[in-house]
Amino acid sequence: MFGLKSDCILDIPEEYYTLADYESAIARWCPGCGDHGILTSVQRLCSEKQLAPENTVFVSGIGCSSRFPHYMKTYGFHGLHGRALPVACGVKFRRPDLHVFVATGDGDCCSIGTAHWIHAIRYNMNITVLLLDNEIYGLTKGQTSPTSSKGTVSNTNPHGSILPPINPIQTTLGVANASFVAQTVDWNPAHLYATIEAGFEHPGFSFIRILQRCPVFQKELFQPVINNPDEITLLTHKNGIQIDPAVAKMYKHTVDHDPSNLHEARELAENLDRQVIGLLYQDKTKERYDLYGAHNMGITPEEKQKAINLELDKFAV
């Protein structure tokens, strides 16, 4: 039986964005660089979620991975070294309607950008952060980075680095108000995509560390775990990262880790015997600072400015 005429109208989107709608310049990363696969995953996510390019922003700092915005046909901001996160937070605070992504590297995020990283975690704005971690400064041709394993031979430590590395997962989990912490690898496209998708869906600051191959300056770094997936622990849980069982079967070592368990997440992050991949921690109820921007409070930025000035005027002498 036919109903009203409007019942028969198909919901056809005015525009459908394909992968090509997000492809910009040809990526100038080295052949075999893990960044290529990460870029493809992100472009696929944008298409799957039908993110309008004009409502999507990629922000970066400095480093190989920070060339990311150039390769996305969206808005982008290739900023200063270590300053991707404050720029991204500013964009999100003033334009909560935009989809904001950050591409940062281990040098960019965990060295010069550390203070911004810590506070961005605490502010918990709705941003997807991809830490492309190759444990070396690639753009400047091979210096020890804060995440380089002890003993890494580089231009700055020709006899091997002497300090233990920062563990970005452990650090993020240690900051007040952390709400989404995950780890994945660039060479498993199914897990990589599912992790980025979960981070994008998370209402808050999603921090995703991606172990990223640099075949030029860290040729052998991840080869043992690529050759032997038994060196990796896959986190599985109904509230974690969901991947095809056929892909999950690659990994002999699994832990059914509940991502609401912060204590266990920290224990997993601290265990250096084997790399973990999956969702370590998630809490969707954490306070979000971007909800206190003028737009989300239902007022204009001008009205907010006026209210602040009125308050400040009380201190005028």
Q: Is the dihedral of CA 225, 39, 127, 190 positive or negative?
A: negative
Phi/psi of residue 104, nearest 5 degrees: -140, 160
Contact region with ligand SF4 (CB under 6 A), list: 48-56, 115-123, 213-221, 292-300 = 213-221
Q: Which is nearer to ligand SF4, 157 or 261 (CB)?
A: 157
Confirm or reject binding of residue 210 to ligand SF4 (CB under 6 A): no
Q: Which is nearer to ligand SF4, 116 or 213 (CB)?
A: 213
Give the residue, chosen from 200, 217, 222, 281, that forms a contact with ligand SF4 under the rule CB under 6 A: 217
Give the residue, chosen from 181, 214, 241, 280, that forms a contact with ligand SF4 under the rule CB under 6 A: 214
Centre a 10 Å sphere on the Cβ of residue 255 and count the other Cβ atoms it contains: 16
Contact region with ligand SF4 (CB under 6 A), list: 42-50, 202-210, 211-219, 257-265 = 211-219
Pattern 156-195, ligand SF4, x by CB under 6 A: ----------------------------------------
Please state the separation of Cα 228 from the chain's center in Å. 26
- DSSP three-state, residue 296: helix
Strands (E), 51-133: 56-60, 75-78, 99-105, 128-133
Contact region with ligand SF4 (CB under 6 A), list: 8-16, 202-210, 214-222, 249-257 = 214-222
CB of 150 to ligand SF4, least distance (A): 21
Q: Which is nearer to ligand SF4, 217 or 251 (CB)?
A: 217
Q: Is 288 within 8 Å of 204 (Cβ atoms)? A: yes
Q: Which is nearer to ligand SF4, 173 or 221 (CB)?
A: 221
Strands (E), 203-246: 206-211, 232-235
Q: Is 197 within 8 Å of 130 (Cβ atoms)? A: no
Question: What is the rounded distance in angstroms from the CA atom of residue 108 to the CA atom of residue 97?
Answer: 26
CB of 29 to ligand SF4, least distance (A): 4
Reading the block at residue 249, the tokens are: 């079967």
Question: What is the rounded distance in angstroms from the CA atom of residue 148 to the CA atom of residue 107?
Answer: 10
Q: In terms of DSSP bridges, do strands 180-185 and 275-282 run parallel, antiparallel, or are they unpaired?
A: antiparallel
Confirm or reject binding of residue 106 to ligand SF4 (CB under 6 A): no
Confirm or reject binding of residue 216 to ligand SF4 (CB under 6 A): yes
Confirm or reject binding of residue 64 to ligand SF4 (CB under 6 A): yes
Q: Which residues bind ligand SF4 (CB under 6 A)?
A: 29-30, 33, 35, 64, 134, 138, 214-217
